[in-house]
A and B are shown apart, each in its own frame.
Chain A
Amino acid sequence: MTIFYFTLKRSFGSLTNLIFLTLAPIACIFFPAGEAWPALPYGYQYFGIIILFVAIRLTQIIIEDRARGVIKRLSVAPIRYFHYLSQNLFAYFVILILQCAIVIVGGLLRGQELYQPFALFTLYLSFSFTALAIALAWISIFRNKDIAFLVYMSLIFLMVLMGGIMMPLEMFPDLMKRIAVILPTFWFAEGLNWVVYGRQTSNFMLINGVLWLYTLVFLVLGSTRKMQ
């Protein structure tokens, strides 16, 4: 578990990261509620975007390791790449779980209307995993971490826009609605809708299941060992 602790330390090591990782969820709590749309307060609607950003920010450690040749050195160390990757991911999961918990508990304390807090928490967790897997797959394509981050930023905007987190899907033309389904953000938005209006638990399970499927796909794609 050395790598796990070390990853945690590194994630909170730099000041910018610390601010980013702690202030972002806290800020979310204080965002105002929307009028007609979204039904959840803005902070909770947009927390998905923050999760996406946090995920790519956290996985920067892996791309940094690759650039510095740490991965190359690990390959001769008595440790498997699988351990390295899983402990890193586990550390990121822990951080994301903490963030989700902060947001939910903070919202409850502040008296935000969250409808079904526990379901919301579950949804955030599922989406965190998906976001991490996507970020992992994304950085496996790139060598330079700044370029990876910048391009991913624009990709996030597009995903969020087309997935229906920033605008209600009902406004979209039919074709765009269908394209949106391909994006994981659509399922997150769907989940948010369920938290507000949902009745059948099976639907919610299905939504989470889809997010988990996305997680698996991107984990498989992103877990290749790149030496650079």
Chain B
Amino acid sequence: MRVLSTTKFTMLRLVRNYIGLLLLLIVPIVMLTIFSLILSGMTNEEGNPYFNETALTMVLTFQLFGGSSVMHYLNYDLFTLNRERMFVAPFNRTMYALSIMIFGSIFSVLLGIVLMIYSQYVLGMVWNNWAWTIYLITLMSVLSSIVCVIFTCVVKKFKLAGRLSEIYGVGFVMLAGLFFPMPQNAVFDFLGSYGNPLTLSIGAVRAGGNGNWAEAWLQANIVLAAIVTLFLVMIVVGRKRLK
């Protein structure tokens, strides 16, 4: 269990990655603040503040990008910068990769929780069901980590893998129709609803808030299924690459 002794340093690295913190914590906080200023006092048809929707979307959207630090560390440690050192170190590299992934996800979840706390206690919005929202945040962050690891392992050029992960993030935001409405056809409809982790998790939280738990579990479980499938893919691809 030598890998355990590295976890502290993985965490330290994550905390000291100031650019990452700027992009995944400060920017969302600023954007949440701006949105809360813009949308203050506006309500939708059901009488809920408009900002609640936006905050939920923002918190979940930034989880799409949470895997990028995992990706960078994996690339540095196992494929480029520290590769030789890791290969002579007496521990299980697969477990190490897994620990980086787990801690990256946990860190991303923590950032999400910080955003929730900020929006509740500073901006004054009310999250209906903390546990359920955090569960969905966790699913999103794990999914993002897995997708990023797959990109890192499949694509030889790391730069391209980085671009792909950005496309994954921005692409699903666009497909969810957050920037502008997507064209109406079967493919886009699917990718804007049940084929899109972002819409699924937003839908799950929303359904949970409305008390529609069957729908909520269904949507959350689709994401979970995607995670399990991609996890298997990741193991296959990752083993090949780590050899």
Chain A residues engaging chain B, CB cutoff 8 angstroms: 16, 31-32, 34-35, 42, 46, 147, 150-151, 153-154, 157-158, 161-162, 166-167, 171-173, 175-176
Contacts and interface: CB of A to CB of B under 8 A. Distances in A.
Interface string B142-166: 0000000000000000011001000
Nearest to A173: B37
A162 B30 CA distance: 11
A171 B38 contact: yes
B34 A162 contact: yes
Contacts of B225: none
Contact of B19 (A150, A166, A173): A150
Interface stretch (B178-186, B194-202, B207-215): B178-186
Contacts of A151: 19, 22-23
A34 B38 contact: no
B129 interface: no
A24 B19 CA distance: 27
A183 B170 CA distance: 24
B31 A161 contact: yes
Contacts of B179: 42, 46, 166
B27 A154 contact: yes
Contact of A154 (B22, B38, B163, B181): B22
Contacts of B182: 32
B40 interface: yes
Contacts of A150: 19, 23
Contacts of B163: 16
Given A32-B181, A35-B181, 7 more contacts: A32-B180, A42-B180, A147-B19, A150-B23, A151-B23, A176-B34, A176-B37
A32 B182 CA distance: 8
Contacts of A31: 180
Interface residues of B, number: 20
A173 B38 contact: yes
Interface in B191-240: none
B27 A161 contact: no
A76 B64 CA distance: 47
Contacts of A153: 23
B3 to A, nearest CB: 29
A158 B37 contact: no
A158 B19 contact: no
A159 B181 CA distance: 22
A167 B152 CA distance: 36
A150 B180 CA distance: 23
30 contacts: A16-B159, A16-B160, A31-B180, A32-B180, A32-B181, A34-B180, A34-B181, A42-B179, A46-B179, A46-B180, A147-B19, A150-B19, A150-B23, A151-B22, A151-B23, A154-B22, A154-B23, A157-B27, A157-B31, A158-B27, A161-B34, A162-B34, A166-B179, A167-B38, A171-B38, A171-B39, A172-B38, A173-B38, A173-B40, A176-B34
Nearest to A30: B183
Name the residue in B27, B30, B180 with the highest tally of chain A Cβ atoms < 10 Å from its Cβ. Answer: B180
Interface in B101-119: none
Nearest to A35: B181
Given A151-B19, A167-B38, A158 B31 contact: yes
Contacts of A172: 37-38
Interface in B19-47: 19, 22-23, 27, 30-31, 34, 37-40, 42
A123 to B, nearest CB: 20
10 A-B pairs closest in CB distance:
A42-B180, A154-B27, A172-B38, A147-B19, A176-B37, A150-B23, A154-B23, A171-B38, A150-B19, A161-B34
A183 B218 CA distance: 44
Interface hub of B37, B163, B182 (most chain A Cβ within 10 A)? B37
Nearest to A161: B34
Contacts of B19: 147, 150-151
A183 B217 CA distance: 44
A31 B30 CA distance: 28
A16 B161 CA distance: 12
Nearest to A171: B38
